[in-house]
Structure 1
Amino acid sequence: MNFDDRVIRMIRVKILNKPGTFGKLADVIGTNEGSMGDIKVIRVGTKYITRDIKIYTKTLDKFNSIMKELKNIKGIKLIKDFDEIYQAHEGGLLETKSKVKIETISDLEKYYIPGIVKVARTINKDHNKKFEYTNIGNTVGIITNGTAILNFKSCKVEAAYSVMESAGAVLNEISGISATPLVVDTENKDEFISTIKNIYKNFGMIILEDISSPSSLGIERELQGLEIPIIDTNKYGNAIVVLAALINISKRVGINLKKSKVGLLGFGSKACGINEILKDYGVEKIIGFDIREEAIARMEDGNIEKKENINNLMEESDIIIGTSRVEGLIKFGMVQKDQIIISLSKPEPEIKAAIALKAGAKYAVDGRIVNPLLVIPGLIKGALEAKASEVTLNMMINAAETLAELSKEGEILPNVFDKGLHKKVSENVKKIAIEDGVAHLFEQEIEEDITEPEDEIFNKIKGINEWMSN
């Protein structure tokens, strides 16, 4: 049962507090090919226990059959059924909320007029003061045109907005970033670029999401050089996590990653980012296969050795990374002995990990584990805190190495909710931004190693002792 295909419903039921009654409910669900998820006790009465139960079924008809049968079971009273997903998203996931209380005339004068006049004049004289007196430094724009939303063939602006809003809520919750979702209603590359250039000063950073290639590659390239970082997270978020995974997989299976031959199956924006980061890390040999003319041209531009067919790619690669977006593209017989396979395509991978392992792969994993959400919150937070003008390859590779280091023993990657994960990534990214010279911090914001007077005295005494003993 694929996640995208199954029906998920919550039911609220009063169940007679008598042995065997709950078992009848479970039997009805099971005979209709359903299964139960979370069960929450809502109320315990003298005779009945009221519970919310999550039910998974293959089709809506199966769910309706369960509802019909439950109504006829003695000791069970069906109160209501509802869709938990819709309920969770009612009213949206984001809101703009004031950080201050405005309850009196004095407050109004301080935070609005005339108070804001003084602030605005200061920022007008020195635009860098926006970091001190506005929230721009902690605000990221999540921007799309909806051309590559999920696995939709076409996506209306409003539907695309819901996805950007969801991403914004995750970023806010994980890293405290103020995220603004925006959908630019055009597929014209030049119009999209022009829109971004007209609004970018409202943000400390812009991330591009779910824009189809080849447009996404041109858009990101032409937007570089603005005052703030512009990054395509589909391109680089996946690439960073892939590198982190490969660092740990290589250690686990005992291979030299930099000397391994990496095969890229599909060469869209995601593969472009992976190729760029792996090469900068030091991987010497990368080959690829794609049937699209524009993808072949990109491989030529990137000095990627292109293979004539998928069989040649599979036969020659020590490591295969699938970004084709084609379910089941890698067949059982194509897998080479001791190969490493990372299948990133969603909702279903090029080959399931269990099948790849049975076929002889030494290690196999898919996009559910190699998840860009592991790095994106920390990467963005670090760039914002550094007031960076760009996100460098050095910053991204350091983020990958940090992920690899923070993985628990026996795991190739951390869990997205591991304590301190995103904070550590952001701290390291900020540090590298300063080292790379792309940070724009005030002098007092840069921590320096200050030698304490006691340390200076100790070192002088130590030096004298060493001199006298010679």
Structure 2
Amino acid sequence: MALFTKEEALRYHACGHPGKVETVPVKPCATQRHLSMAYTPGVADACRAIHADAAEGYAYTNKGNLVAVVSNGTAVLGLGDIGPLAGKPVMEGKGVLFKVFADVDVYDLCIEQKDPAKIIEFVRMLEPTFGGINLEDIKAPECFEIEQTLIREMDIPVFHDDQHGTAIISGAGLIAALELAGKKAEEVKVVVSGAGAGAIACTNFFMALGVRRENVYMFDSRGLLHKGRAGLNAAKLAFAQERDHGSLADVMRGADVFLGLSVGGMVTPDMVASMAANPIVFACANPDPEIAYPDAKAVRDDLIMATGRSDYPNQINNVLGFPFIFRGALDVQARTINEEMKMAAARALAALAKEPVPAEALAPYGLASASFGVDYIIPKALDPRVIEWVAPAVAEAAMRTGVARRVIDLDAYRVELRERMKAARARIGAFIDSYGLDF
């Protein structure tokens, strides 16, 4: 049953203050003294301090807690190439999630540009203002060039969530699922439906966890990627099998893992029935998975399944990653988000899933209990403990690998995060209540 109607969703976005975010001052500006410190002449002291030492920009501006969500709207989830203005509600929503889950401030920058070189030039010019860049809903293969170039050329974290956010959360799920299935990453046969940015990043992450390249069978809309096919771009060619092994149904026989980041209805119950013992199915197409959860569970008692939906167990939800990854990276003033930081986030989520689940994490879902098992392989998105597990893990990896400008005490940091989020939730709640909106 739908949680809301189209009319309710449009009213949510339009009523009161249009959109979902606004900027508010965090320093008083009620007296002449306040005004003279906020702007001229007092602002000059902050300017001179930063001019003398650029590191002071983190002390005297919001740079250290500010992320740019940059999109050209060419690959908006479930909607395709709808352009930057139509994609703006998604980017505003991303800003809401950053703030609510990790107290990270965001400016969404939706740009009318498809040329990768010009997008790169635009984003590079943002570095003085922002502590991090979150690329969003930019289509493949352009997104690969854009992200990798910016990572090389910028001295702040650049993160394409459509790739790495999905990879990190599905990777956490795979760690748990393999343990439950009694299988080793280096031995499993993996079938991937989809060959876009998310599918390629997830597959690379699975390989970083131990999956062997030769055991990966990736399909795009034309079929299996193999070296006998013409017209494969470099990103797809990297996953091409030596020869054609047949249709999706053919290749699914005996498979241990299915990863879907394509379209609904690609997988039939018979395909799931043909998989190996204790199969793992991550059907992440939204809003309709490659195979519906009830249909897959009906044919296999030993199935471990996850989807992108919140109304079934084991939701692969990027909100478990990006807010907390940036929180940890920002708090140590990281120069990049490297592979070790991404892996640390996935392993932290997998470890948290094995911890006892408190009532406060269950209440939003109307659950009485949950414990590590086939119906709980990754934490719930609204579990308030996630920030205390993922952000410190990311910060520690940044410090350990030498990309952090700042060294912090991790035990004190966990306490600080708990108190920060308690205060942030109260502040955000009071601010929203002041609008008097009822949803």
* TM bracket (short chain): 0.7 to 0.9
Q: In 1, distance between residues paired with 2:6 and 2:60?
A: 46
- Structure 2 residue aligned with 1:312, among 243, 250, 256? 250
Q: Which amino acid aligns with 1:363?
A: I
Matched, 1:267 2:176: no
Shift of 1:333: 1.8
- Cα distance change of structure 1 residues 313 and 223 upon mapping to structure 2, 3 Å threshold: farther
Greater mean deviation of Cα atoms: 366-375 or 153-162: 153-162
Q: Which amino acid aligns with 2:320?
A: L
Q: In 1, distance between residues paired with 2:268 and 2:240?
A: 28
In our comparison, the structure showing a higher alpha carbon Rg is 1
Greater mean deviation of Cα atoms: 235-244 or 219-228: 219-228
Q: In 2, distance between residues paired with 1:298 and 1:359?
A: 35
Conserved in 2, the CA contact under 8 Å of 1:9 and 1:83? yes
Q: In 2, distance between residues paired with 1:178 and 1:157?
A: 20
- Structure 2 residue aligned with 1:422, among 387, 395, 411? 387
Q: Quote the residue 2:219 is aligned against.
A: 289
Q: In 2, distance between residues paired with 1:114 and 1:90?
A: 33
Conserved in 2, the CA contact under 8 Å of 1:277 and 1:393? no
Matched, 1:392 2:308: no
| Gaps in structure 2 of 5+ consecutive residues | 223-229, 310-314, 358-370, 412-439
Conserved in 1, the CA contact under 8 Å of 2:216 and 2:239? no
Shift of 1:310: 1.4
The 5-angstrom pairing of residues 53-92 of structure 1 reads 85-86=12-13, 90-92=17-19
Shift of 1:125: 1.9
Q: In 1, distance between residues paired with 2:383 and 2:210?
A: 29
Matched, 1:141 2:86: no
- Cα distance change of structure 1 residues 249 and 194 upon mapping to structure 2, 3 Å threshold: same
- Structure 2 residue aligned with 1:436, among 401, 411, 433? 401
The structure with higher relative contact order (CA 8 Å, sep 6+) is 2
Q: Quote the residue 2:409 is aligned against.
A: 447
The 5-angstrom pairing of residues 197-208 of structure 1 reads 197-208=124-135
Q: Quote the residue 2:235 is aligned against.
A: 298
Q: Which amino acid aligns with 1:414?
A: P
Aligned residues between the structures? 372
- Cα distance change of structure 1 residues 251 and 155 upon mapping to structure 2, 3 Å threshold: same
- Cα distance change of structure 1 residues 88 and 425 upon mapping to structure 2, 3 Å threshold: farther
- Structure 2 residue aligned with 1:258, among 186, 197, 200? 186
Q: Which amino acid aligns with 2:134?
A: I
CA displacement 1:410-431 (0-9 Å, x = unmatched): 3111111212212321111001
Shift of 1:159: 2.1
Q: Quote the residue 2:78 is aligned against.
A: 151
When the two chains are superposed, the root-mean-square deviation of aligned CA atoms in Å is 2.4
Q: Which amino acid aligns with 1:188?
A: D
Q: In 1, distance between residues paired with 2:231 and 2:258?
A: 21
Greater mean deviation of Cα atoms: 291-300 or 203-212: 291-300
- Structure 2 residue aligned with 1:162, among 62, 66, 89? 89
Conserved in 1, the CA contact under 8 Å of 2:13 and 2:19? no
**Aligned partner of residue 172 in structure 1, secondary structure:** helix
Shift of 1:245: 0.8
- Cα distance change of structure 1 residues 303 and 155 upon mapping to structure 2, 3 Å threshold: closer
- Cα distance change of structure 1 residues 155 and 300 upon mapping to structure 2, 3 Å threshold: closer
CA displacement 1:386-439 (0-9 Å, x = unmatched): 211111111111111111111142311111121221232111100110001111
- Cα distance change of structure 1 residues 257 and 118 upon mapping to structure 2, 3 Å threshold: same
- Cα distance change of structure 1 residues 97 and 295 upon mapping to structure 2, 3 Å threshold: farther
CA displacement 1:183-206 (0-9 Å, x = unmatched): 011122222111111223211000
The answer to which structure has the higher strand fraction is: 1
